[in-house]
Amino acid sequence: SQQGEEDPQALSIQEGENATMNCSYKTSINNLQWYRQNSGRGLVHLILIRSNEREKHSGRLRVTLDTSKKSSSLLITASRAADTASYFCATDGTSGTYKYIFGTGTRLKVLA
């Protein structure tokens, strides 16, 4: 079963606008990661947030984590056409098995 569920499934915005996508998960975690996948390519790691962190920034990316609600959000500010991709959250478990569960992804389309 999927650990993470992204919302929305698809998002279409104009260049320059902000894009927000959400991830909900089911069990306790050590950390949560966000990945990007361009069409036909492998996934690329964007950012990792640990369970004791509430917010993290990397360039135009801002990630928040609310462990009480078991949810995370990824904000991309001032979006560009090159941000068009699918975005996935991935969560580990606290059992130390080193395996990650990926969500179903949000397909983002940024219109020029």
Tell me which stretch binds other proteins (CB under 8 A): 12-20, 54-62, 76-84, 85-93: 85-93
Q: Which residues pair with residue 88 across a beta bridge?
A: 35
Compare residues 69 and 99 and give the one whose CB is closer to other proteins.
99
Residues 6+ apart with CB under 8 A from 33: 45, 46, 47, 48, 49, 89, 90, 91, 100
User: Measured at the alpha carbon of residue 109, what is the angle toward residues 102 and 82, in degrees to the nearest 5?
Assistant: 90
Q: How far is the CB of 93 from other proteins (least distance, A)?
A: 9
Compare residues 1 and 68 and give the one whose CB is closer to other proteins.
1
User: For residues 63 and 47, is the Cβ–Cβ distance under 8 A?
Assistant: yes
What mask of x and - would describe binding to other proteins in positions 92 to 111, judged by CB under 8 A? Answer: x---xxxxxxxxxx------
For other proteins, the binding residues (CB under 8 A) are: 1-2, 4, 30-31, 33, 35, 40-45, 48, 50, 88, 90, 92, 96-105
